[in-house]
């Protein structure tokens, strides 16, 4: 994977009156990745994206999109290589889905593009509603149309702000799969979300921001390791054997914590779960359940941000 940053933030600060939205945010969006921008509501994700696209101004710091900053002569060319869906799809409600796409195609300076419009409408499952006014669409359909509009003209970078908002479960899966496939066609994706599972399933890199600052950044594996979210194992033994199992496993250097229902949480240097069952079986204790604790982003996120608090900052 190339390590070229298509978009970057450097010490970006933004406040709205006394409310601080961004406190010196710095991050890079690496080419070829699906990068997740994760943070609680109000952590500054949307404000950061707006500043990157020139819709808002930073009070300090700088942003770069394809090497260009807002106000520079080649910024328009950089924006034209970027598709975006920010805070909902922003549609002309009294125009049809197809007309909405034609308007955007014209605004992006694309030529005759009926075939591409049809292809994209089909890709997001709106072929049958192409000539329906967008105001009659459900939120999920509007979101799909917004995504199709973001992909017009084959952008190199796609920025999606909460792209699965309003979608039903099957719609969420479809859009997630679609987003995951985008790098195959050379598209880099920046997805902002407050949905931990979504980011974990969709992204290969993640940046966690909280109160306008970056608190973690890296590949998913790096992030999970960063907050000590190593997996470990859980085993279940007979109720009368919990103490003995705890002693035996502790003696071989493992960290053992009793849990509910005759379960033990086990950490430490374990290469394979079979080691645990093998040692215990040698002492006549037979494990009835053994499972690996899958580390998840939720634990990391809560550890890094101190929980979800939606009313702290704007953006």
Partner 1 sequence: MRAEFAKVRSMPTPFWCAFAALVFFLGGIAGCVIWGIGQESAALDLGIGIPTSIIAIVFGVWLFGVEYGQNTLRRTLTADPRRMRLIISKLIVLLVIIALVTVLLHLLAFVLYNLAASGHDGSLSAETVFRYGASSLLENVVNGIVGMAFALITASMAGGMTIALVFIFILDGIISIIPRVGDYTLGLAVVDISNSILGFSGEFFGETIGRSWEVATLIMIAWLLLLMALGALRFVRSDVK
The footprint of partner 1 (CB under 8 A) covers 50, 53-57, 70, 75-76, 79-80, 82, 84, 86-88, 90-96, 99, 102-104, 106-109, 149
Nearest 5°: CA angle at 151, between 150 and 154? 135
Q: Which is nearer to partner 1, 91 or 187 (CB)?
A: 91
Q: Which is nearer to partner 1, 43 or 47 (CB)?
A: 47
Residue 80 Cβ vs partner 1, minimum distance, rounded to whole Å: 7
- The CA distance from 234 to 257, in Å, is 9
For residue 53, which of 82, 89, 24 has the smallest C-alpha distance?
A: 82
Confirm if 199 and 230 have CB atoms less than 8 A apart.
no
For residue 164, which of 109, 89, 215, 106 has the smallest C-alpha distance?
A: 89
Q: Which is nearer to partner 1, 142 or 211 (CB)?
A: 142
Q: Which is nearer to partner 1, 23 or 50 (CB)?
A: 50
Match 């014209």 to its residue by tokens.
106
Residue 30 Cβ vs partner 1, minimum distance, rounded to whole Å: 21
Residue 162 Cβ vs partner 1, minimum distance, rounded to whole Å: 14
End-to-end C-alpha distance for the chain, whole angstroms: 32
DSSP state of 182: G
Beta pairing partners, 130: none
Q: Which is nearer to partner 1, 40 or 153 (CB)?
A: 153
- The CA distance from 50 to 77, in Å, is 17
Residue 112 Cβ vs partner 1, minimum distance, rounded to whole Å: 11
Residue 209 Cβ vs partner 1, minimum distance, rounded to whole Å: 19
């Amino acid at each position: 994977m190339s390590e070229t940053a298509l978009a970057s933030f450097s010490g970006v600060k933004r406040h709205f009156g006394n409310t601080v939205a961004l406190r010196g945010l710095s991050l890079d969006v690496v080419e070829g990745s699906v990068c997740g921008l994760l943070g609680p509501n109000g952590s500054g994700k949307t404000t950061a994206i707006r500043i990157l696209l020139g819709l808002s101004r930073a009070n300090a710091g700088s942003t770069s999109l394809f090497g260009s900053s807002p106000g520079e002569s080649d910024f328009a060319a950089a924006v034209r290589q970027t598709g975006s869906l920010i805070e909902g799809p922003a549609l002309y409600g009294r125009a049809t889905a197809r007309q909405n796409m034609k308007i955007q195609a014209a605004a992006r300076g694309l030529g005759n593009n009926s075939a591409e419009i049809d292809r994209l409408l089909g890709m997001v499952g709106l072929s049958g509603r192409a000539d329906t006014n967008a105001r009659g669409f459900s939120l999920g359909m509007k979101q799909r149309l917004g995504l199709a509009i973001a992909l017009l003209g084959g952008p190199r970078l796609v920025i999606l702000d909460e792209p699965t908002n309003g979608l039903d479960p099957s719609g969420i899966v479809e859009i997630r799969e679609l987003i995951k496939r985008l790098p195959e066609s050379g598209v880099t994706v920046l997805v902002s979300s407050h949905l931990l599972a979504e980011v974990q399933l969709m992204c290969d890199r993640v940046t966690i921001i909280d109160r306008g600052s970056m608190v973690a950044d890296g590949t998913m594996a790096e992030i999970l390791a960063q907050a000590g979210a190593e997996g470990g194992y859980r085993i279940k033994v007979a109720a009368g054997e919990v103490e003995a199992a705890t002693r035996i496993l502790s003696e071989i250097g493992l960290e053992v914590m009793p849990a509910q229902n005759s379960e033990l949480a086990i950490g430490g240097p374990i290469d394979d779960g079979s080691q645990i069952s093998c040692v215990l079986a040698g002492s006549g204790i037979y494990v009835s359940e053994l499972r690996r604790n899958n580390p998840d982003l939720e634990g990391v996120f809560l550890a890094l941000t101190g929980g979800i608090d939606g009313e702290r900052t704007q953006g």
